[in-house]
């Protein structure tokens, strides 16, 4: 098993006198987040040209780097993957023609401010606009960082009331910003209220703390979370360099408390857009008991076009994982549909062709094989006592086509329909 070394923060001159106690205290890190150029220069060498560019960036954009994450930066190397995620680049001032303010239309799908209800049975609650660190590739740039505040309690209560009134919501995803920037007792108030709602089955927390401020995962936090099981945590590692002794401890502490941790990676150009890096990351995640969940295609948010890779690269990465390594190390590659369509999974094609009874399929080695379907392929699905008891209804969308409930799905304003209507008149 790989041994991880503790970060040697004392190698950084300005942290030389920081006590061990302070370094392991997440509040100390929050108080000492690097927000301006003079503080940054004490931690990483910045030349004059870069300083000038940074000045321009900071007129428009915010910077925020936790001392812990900054200590992972390789000072000698301009293209250090930690540096690229933390220090603003002049490219962020450029908006590509296809960039949007809110590409996922999270604001549009929001029945009450702070809550997005996109999928039938689950909601996204943006509990805080604050992050301990402002990732340069953040998709929620419009929400995060421009207002340095948590959601007012009244607004959170309105969101929770919405969940209470919507019996179909069985999964609540608390995200932000980073909800773990909230103090334990405040977070507990929110979680408790959600847990008290009878129809809520699971609670998920989206946080980058295990990566950017692992000391936030304290014993008292996990003790609190444990009371409200089932709770799941989704975090956001992008590169094997982010897996350290400290982040490993944080993830293991969660896992030891019975809180499963999953990971969502964003594909970022020159950071992790290559098959061996992602494979290494997936393997190392499993070693710290984090289950790879999603790999995201970079969204079309403003100012992050320099991070975008091609979708093709994502497919190549999956091709290099699937079958070649543990199934558990293979996340789902998704494109979050612009316009609010939600996540769309993409896979390299494994189906070569089909006939009445046979499928021609290919595996990861390139072997082409057949699968013969049974002759009597009609299942009794939909007619057994289990469904009858529960008044089971097929899901909407394409599932309705498959169940025969709908003949077709048509876009609104279909030209052909308009013509027919004109003819009738
Ligand atoms: C990603 C997301 C979810 C959760 O989706 P899962 O696929 O269940 O993880 C819920 N709501 C919104 C708006 C999302 O973007
Ligand atoms: S932690 Fe998440 S929400 Fe916060 S800046 Fe990073 S990517 Fe954005």
- State how far the Cα of 267 lies from the Cα of 164, in Å rounded to an integer: 36
Q: Which residues of 11-33 are buried (b: 16+ CB within 10 A; e: fewer)?
A: ebeebeebeeeebebbebbbebb
Q: How many CB atoms lie within 10 A of CB 235?
A: 27
Pairing type for strands 358-362 and 351-354 reads antiparallel
Distance (Å) from CA 163 to ligand 1 centroid: 15
Q: For residue range 355-388, what is the model confidence (pLDDT) as tens digits?
A: 989 999 999 999 999 999 988 777 776 666 666 6
What pLDDT, on a 0 to 100 scale, did the predictor assign at position 376?
76
- Tokens 């089932």 identify what position? 230
Distance (Å) from CA 118 to ligand 1 centroid: 8
CA distances from 154 to 1, 117, 157 (A): 48, 19, 5
What pLDDT, on a 0 to 100 scale, did the predictor assign at position 382?
64
% residues pLDDT > 70 (the chain): 95
What pLDDT, on a 0 to 100 scale, did the predictor assign at position 415?
87
239 lines ligand 2 (CB under 6 A): no
Q: Of all atoms in ligand 2, which is nearest to the CA of residue 175?
A: 3
- The CA-based diameter of the chain, rounded to the nearest angstrom, is 84
Q: For residue range 87-141, what is the model confidence (pLDDT) as tens digits?
A: 999 999 998 888 888 887 777 789 999 999 999 999 999 999 899 999 999 987 7
Q: For residue range 258-302, what is the model confidence (pLDDT) as tens digits?
A: 999 999 999 999 999 999 999 999 999 999 999 999 999 999 999
For ligand 1, pick from 118, 138, 140 the residue to mutate: most ligand atoms within 8 Å of CB.
118
Q: Are 353 and 344 in contact (CB under 8 A)?
A: no
- State how far the Cα of 147 lies from the Cα of 9, in Å rounded to an integer: 30
Residue nearest to atom 3 of ligand 2 (CA): 177
170 lines ligand 1 (CB under 6 A): no
> Between 219 and 177, where is the model more confident?
219
Q: Are 410 and 417 in contact (CB under 8 A)?
A: yes
Q: For residue range 310-343, what is the model confidence (pLDDT) as tens digits?
A: 999 999 999 999 999 999 999 999 999 888 889 9
Pairing type for strands 290-296 and 332-337 reads parallel
Q: For residue range 162-173, what is the model confidence (pLDDT) as tens digits?
A: 999 999 999 999
Active site residue 336: yes
Distance (Å) from CA 169 to ligand 1 centroid: 12
What pLDDT, on a 0 to 100 scale, did the predictor assign at position 145?
57
* Ligand that lies nearest to the alpha carbon of residue 65, given by its number in the listed order: 2
Q: Say which of 35, 42, 53, 118 is annotated catalytic.
A: 118
Q: Say which of 42, 62, 164, 343 is annotated catalytic.
A: 343
What pLDDT, on a 0 to 100 scale, did the predictor assign at position 349?
96
Distance (Å) from CA 171 to ligand 2 centroid: 21
Residue nearest to atom 3 of ligand 1 (CA): 124
What pLDDT, on a 0 to 100 scale, did the predictor assign at position 395?
80
Pairing type for strands 115-119 and 332-337 reads unpaired
Structure tokens at 269: 């150009």
Q: For residue range 63-72, what is the model confidence (pLDDT) as tens digits?
A: 999 999 999 9
Q: Say which of 83, 122, 208, 216 is annotated catalytic.
A: 122
Distance (Å) from CA 16 to ligand 2 centroid: 28
Q: How many CB atoms lie within 10 A of CB 216?
A: 24
Active site residue 251: no
Annotated domain spans of the chain = 9-88, 115-346, 385-424
* Ligand that lies nearest to the alpha carbon of residue 344, given by its number in the listed order: 1
CATH of domain 115-346: 3.20.20.70
For ligand 1, pick from 122, 123, 260 the residue to mutate: most ligand atoms within 8 Å of CB.
122
- Tokens 């220069």 identify what position? 41
What pLDDT, on a 0 to 100 scale, did the predictor assign at position 143?
65
% residues pLDDT > 90 (the chain): 76
- State how far the Cα of 332 lies from the Cα of 263, in Å rounded to an integer: 11
Q: For residue range 142-164, what is the model confidence (pLDDT) as tens digits?
A: 666 555 567 788 999 999 999 99
Distance (Å) from CA 73 to ligand 2 centroid: 18
92 lines ligand 2 (CB under 6 A): no
- State how far the Cα of 393 lies from the Cα of 400, in Å rounded to an integer: 9
Active site residue 140: yes
Q: How many CB atoms lie within 10 A of CB 112?
A: 14
What pLDDT, on a 0 to 100 scale, did the predictor assign at position 102?
81
What pLDDT, on a 0 to 100 scale, did the predictor assign at position 148?
57
């Amino acid at each position: 098993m790989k041994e991880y070394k503790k970060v040697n923060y004392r190698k950084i001159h300005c942290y030389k006198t920081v006590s061990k106690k302070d370094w392991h205290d997440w509040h100390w890190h929050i108080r000492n987040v690097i927000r301006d150029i003079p503080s940054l220069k004490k931690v990483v060498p910045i030349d004059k040209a870069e300083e000038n560019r940074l000045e321009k960036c900071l007129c428009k954009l915010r910077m925020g780097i936790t001392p812990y994450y900054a200590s992972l930066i390789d000072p000698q190397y301009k293209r250090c993957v930690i540096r690229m995620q933390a220090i603003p680049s002049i490219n962020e001032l450029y908006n590509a023609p296809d960039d949007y303010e809110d590409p996922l239309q999270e604001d549009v799908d929001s029945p009450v401010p702070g809550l997005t209800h996109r999928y039938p049975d689950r909601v996204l609650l943006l509990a805080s606009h604050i992050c301990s660190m402002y990732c340069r590739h953040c998709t929620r740039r419009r929400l995060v960082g421009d207002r340095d505040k948590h959601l007012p309690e009244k607004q959170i209560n309105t969101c929770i009331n919405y969940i209470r009134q919507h019996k179909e919501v069985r999964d609540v995803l608390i995200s932000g910003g980073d909800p773990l920037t909230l103090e334990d007792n405040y977070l507990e108030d929110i979680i408790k209220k959600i847990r008290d709602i009878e129809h809520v089955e699971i609670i998920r927390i989206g946080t980058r703390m295990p990566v950017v401020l692992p000391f936030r995962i304290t014993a008292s936090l996990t003790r609190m979370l444990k009371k409200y099981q089932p709770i799941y945590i989704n975090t956001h590692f992008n590169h094997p360099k982010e897996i350290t002794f400290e982040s490993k401890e944080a993830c293991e502490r969660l896992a030891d408390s019975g809180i499963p941790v999953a990971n969502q990676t964003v594909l970022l150009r020159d950071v992790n857009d290559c098959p061996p890096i992602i494979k290494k990351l997936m393997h190392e995640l499993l070693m710290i008991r984090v289950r790879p969940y999603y790999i995201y295609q970079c969204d079309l948010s403003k100012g992050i076009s320099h991070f975008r890779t091609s979708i093709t690269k994502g497919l190549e990465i999956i091709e290099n994982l699937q079958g070649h390594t543990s199934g558990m190390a293979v996340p789902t590659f998704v494109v979050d549909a612009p316009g609010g369509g939600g996540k769309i999974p993409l896979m390299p094609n494994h189906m070569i062709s089909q006939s009445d009874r046979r499928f021609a399929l290919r595996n990861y080695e390139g072997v082409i094989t057949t699968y013969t379907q049974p002759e009597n392929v009609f299942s009794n699905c939909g007619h057994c006592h289990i469904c009858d008891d529960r008044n089971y209804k097929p899901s909407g969308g394409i599932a309705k086509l498959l169940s025969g409930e709908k003949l077709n799905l048509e876009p609104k304003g279909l030209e052909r329909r308009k013509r027919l209507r004109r003819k009738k008149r």
